[in-house]
Structure 1
Amino acid sequence: MSAAGRLADPAEVRAHLLAAAAAGESITYSELLNQLGHAFSRPKMRALCKVLGAVDRDGAERGEPELAVLVVRQSDGMPGQGWWVDGGASSHNYAGPWEGPLARRLIDNLQRQAFDYWRHRS
């Protein structure tokens, strides 16, 4: 499959996220794009974010914890703006700041759920 195809393929993106979850690790946008055959760019990151939403919607239908929360900024290890405004935070009834201890606690909890769930299923 071409690099463009891997970026647009939810199953391909999901496979990389499942590997990260099973390893108990977050993954940066840049790392994930690189694994999919792309250099980091804002347009590629936006395209990836759309696919991350599809991955989480499909997983939610199966009762799985979300995976998009594992994709983080290199600078601070937190999800980017898209996660916060496109339903990630609101789906957990969180309306607080995107940075700081409250945000960190939410992200740590959600990531731990994914790590615990997938560590036993890989």
Structure 2
Amino acid sequence: MSLSDPAEVRAHLIAAAAAGHALTYSELLEHLGYGFSRPKMRQLCKTLGAVDEQAATRGEPELAVLVVRQSDGLPGQGWWMADGGAIHGYSGPWVGPEAERFIRKLQQVAFDHWAMAPDEASG
């Protein structure tokens, strides 16, 4: 398993989306066969960007929004800085209740899409 393989990471995220839940960075790294470390997390974040670029070209909802910090259940700073909120017209805080509502809406889009179309995961 490889942290730099978008297809591998995508498969785990689609499974989580179809099940209706987010994954922490640690959980996703564990699914990929790695323990948590900052360098591994940074490498994973680069791959998450590639996963979302591919999703956009397929007309699918983003998946990186499903990867969250254990501490507050929100994506990390890298997601926000990569225009995660801005591309959706969100300019609010990256933490707190407003951010939580915004993230839950985006996650629900992925949950709904993959709950209805899990067979697309292989595409």
| Correspondences of 1:1-122 after superposition (within 5 Å) | 3=1, 6-122=2-118
Unaligned runs of 5+ in 1: none
Q: Distance in 2 between matches of 1:73 and 1:57?
A: 22
Alpha carbon RMSD of aligned pairs, Å? 0.7
Instruction: Work out the percentage of aligned pairs sharing the same amino acid.
Output: 67
TM-score scaled by structure 1? 0.94
Unaligned runs of 5+ in 2: 119-123
Cα displacement (A) at 1:58: 0.5
Cα displacement (A) at 1:53: 0.5
Cα displacement (A) at 1:57: 0.6
Deviations 1:27-83 (A, max 9, x none): 000000011111000110010000000000110111100000000001111100001
TM-score scaled by structure 2? 0.93
Q: Distance in 2 between matches of 1:119 and 1:24?
A: 7
Q: Distance in 1 between matches of 2:80 and 2:43?
A: 16
Give the length in aligned residue pairs: 118
Cα displacement (A) at 1:95: 1.4
Q: Distance in 1 between matches of 2:36 and 2:5?
A: 17
Could you say what secondary structure the match of 2:112 adopts?
helix
Q: Which runs of 4+ in 1 moved over 6 A?
A: none
Q: Distance in 2 between matches of 1:46 and 1:93?
A: 25
Q: Distance in 1 between matches of 2:61 and 2:7?
A: 16
